[in-house]
Amino acid sequence: MMGRRSFALLALLAMTGCGPAPADMRTACISSALDQPDLKNGVAVFTSADGGIGEARTGMLNLRDGNTVLAVASLTKPLVAAEVRRRIEHGMLALDKPASKLLRAFRFTPETATITVQQLLQHRAGFDRSGYDPLFASERPSCRGAAVDVLARPPELAIGGQTVYSNAGYCVLGEILLTQPSGIDPDMLMALKSPLGAAGGWRGSLRSLHSALSLSMPFADLEAEPALPDGSHYAFAWRSWPVSAEGPRWTHFGRLPGILSLALSDGRSTLLVAHFQGDPGDVDAASLAASGALWRCMSVEPPPVTSL
């Protein structure tokens, strides 16, 4: 419904002669798509139709823009995974390396000692947060505390089996990166040392986030069997959707009290990041609705220039 409303608005404006300039059609569409139920003050930074950087926002009193410093919540994870991937490509890490060989100061059980870097990246380390998320076990979040907690006791699920999204798994990856902090981007290093750590500690502008995430394109995929029931799976933090699915090929959502963040990409050259204020009752539904509406706008192209 959001997509039809966005395109209808563009058509009406064009007919009345007061529509956006052709180069701004994508921006106008995204501005409209940012108007989502239960969310407010949306801001987006995206790859423009000409390959540059565009920006849009919604809300009459919205003072936030692409340069406003924001907490991006779980959109930290793709940045962490990109640093892990960089180290793998430089021979500093390996997907099949057990975390127990990289974190000598931590206590492991016989089960958790077998957990690999790849299983942590893909949320397949057996950590189940459905009833208890160790990241928020105390009044103040502690990513390091979450890593210590999950490694020191047997996991709830079979290691390497089903995919269950885990903050704690990325906290473990963050601790692995901190064993060799040299070369880590200063903003990432600050995030890793924050209470939310590798699970959600990155802060910065959407323009900075767009730039940082773009550095990892084209995205790398990882095999995952079995896939999630909808056919999707996680690779380097990004959720990879079947090619036949509608919407973006790669997504990641972030959530903290009062905010919702989204990253959407084709995995090759096009990326959109968005940030909202609000506490929707159904976070997953709100995230999927917003991502669908926003991604439809990414196909809006300026009309071809014709000669008279």
Indicate whether 186 and 82 sit together in one domain: yes
Indicate whether 96 and 56 sit together in one domain: no
Indicate whether 216 and 138 sit together in one domain: no
Indicate whether 165 and 78 sit together in one domain: yes
Q: For 242-287, write each residue's pLDDT tens digit.
A: 987 788 999 999 999 999 999 999 999 999 999 999 999 999 999 9
Indicate whether 78 and 184 sit together in one domain: yes
Q: For 170-212, write each residue's pLDDT tens digit.
A: 999 999 999 999 999 999 999 999 999 999 999 999 999 999 9
- Mention every residue, 6+ apart, whose C-beta is less than 8 A from residue 142: 135, 195
Sole residue written with tokens 């959707």? 241
What is the per-residue pLDDT for 60? 85
User: Could you give phi then psi for residue 89, rounded to 5 degrees?
Assistant: -65, -25
Indicate whether 223 and 283 sit together in one domain: yes
Question: Would 40 be classed as within a structural domain?
Answer: yes
Domain enclosing residue 92, as ranges: 73-201
Question: Would 288 be classed as within a structural domain?
Answer: yes
Q: For 106-142, write each residue's pLDDT tens digit.
A: 999 999 999 999 999 999 999 998 888 999 998 899 9
Indicate whether 83 and 145 sit together in one domain: yes
Question: Would 32 be classed as within a structural domain?
Answer: yes
**What is the average pLDDT value for the chain, to the nearest integer?**
91
**122, 233 in Cβ contact below 8 A?**
yes
Indicate whether 67 and 206 sit together in one domain: yes
Q: Domains in the chain: how many in total?
A: 2
Indicate whether 63 and 146 sit together in one domain: no
Closest CA to 6 of 277, 279, 19, 41: 19
Question: Would 5 be classed as within a structural domain?
Answer: no
Indicate whether 57 and 41 sit together in one domain: yes
CATH number of the domain that residue 175 is part of: 3.40.710.10
Indicate whether 209 and 277 sit together in one domain: yes
Question: Would 251 be classed as within a structural domain?
Answer: no
Question: Would 79 be classed as within a structural domain?
Answer: yes
- Whole-structure pTM over 0.85, yes or no? yes
Strands (E), the chain: 40-47, 53-57, 70-71, 203-204, 233-234, 239-240, 250-256, 259-265, 271-277
Q: For 292-305, write each residue's pLDDT tens digit.
A: 999 999 987 665 55
What is the per-residue pLDDT for 151? 98
- CA distances 158 to 100, 126, 155, Å, are 17, 5, 7
Average pLDDT over residues 88-96: 98
Question: Would 127 be classed as within a structural domain?
Answer: yes
Q: For 212-254, write each residue's pLDDT tens digit.
A: 999 999 999 999 888 999 999 999 999 999 987 788 999 999 9
Closest CA to 227 of 241, 248, 247: 241
Indicate whether 54 and 96 sit together in one domain: no
